[in-house]
Structure 1
Amino acid sequence: QKGGMESVSTRSSPKHDCGHFQMPLHYPRYTQADYEAMPEWRLDLLLKEYGLPIIGDLESKRKFAMGAFLWIK
């Protein structure tokens, strides 16, 4: 094609990732109490499963997980 917009179906560029976030099949169903008692290794696995950062101490990981996965009621 000359000029204009390129058709999506004819584009030959490779697929690009939209970042590191990965949506697993099931959304985690933990309560706030579950996160507050969850061991660090389990938090690390949960965050890794979703492609989220695993940084900071245990308390910051818990706060991050609760902010990411708990719905405000």
Structure 2
Amino acid sequence: MMSGTSCSNINPHTLSGLKPNGHQVSGSGNDKGCYFQMPLHYPRYRKTDYETMPEWKLDCLLTQYGLPVTGDLTQKRKFAMGAFLWPSQNE
């Protein structure tokens, strides 16, 4: 399982039994190991960094934040810039 994977069947009651790192505190053993661990730092790249970033690095960054890693390189760059740049940085 990749880090940042999300589960569509998680409800708020399930989330209340999680530690800050996303691991379950207790369970019956029947629960699937589905969790998300937020990275400690927000990416500090500029628009020009995303425009020249190699695809493997974009894939790693998006995966680290649990975001979709689909589409071609142009689509991934556009998605990363939309997700991580403030509107004033995107001009």
User: Given residue 52 of structure 1, which amino acid in structure 2 is its aligned partner?
Assistant: L
Higher share in helix: 1
- Listed one character per residue, the Cα deviations across residues 24-66 of structure 1 (whole Å, up to 9, x for unaligned) are 1000000000000000000000000000000000000000000
SS in 2 for 1:15: helix
Q: Is 1:52 aligned to 2:51, yes or no? A: no
Q: Does 1:15 align with 2:14?
A: yes
RMSD, aligned α-carbons: 2.3
- Percent pairwise identity: 67
Moved over 3 A (4+): none
Kindly name which structure, 1 or 2, has the bigger radius of gyration based on alpha carbons.
1
**TM-score, normalization by structure 2:** 0.58
CA distance in 1, matches of 2:72, 2:36: 21
Whether 2:64 is the aligned partner of 1:65: answer no
- Provide TM-score, normalisation by structure 1: 0.71
Structure 2: 5+ residue runs without aligned partners? Answer: 1-12, 19-34
> For 1:38, which of 53, 56, 75 is the aligned residue?
53
Figure out how many residues of one structure are paired with residues of the other and give that number: 59
Distance 2:69 2:85 in 1: 18
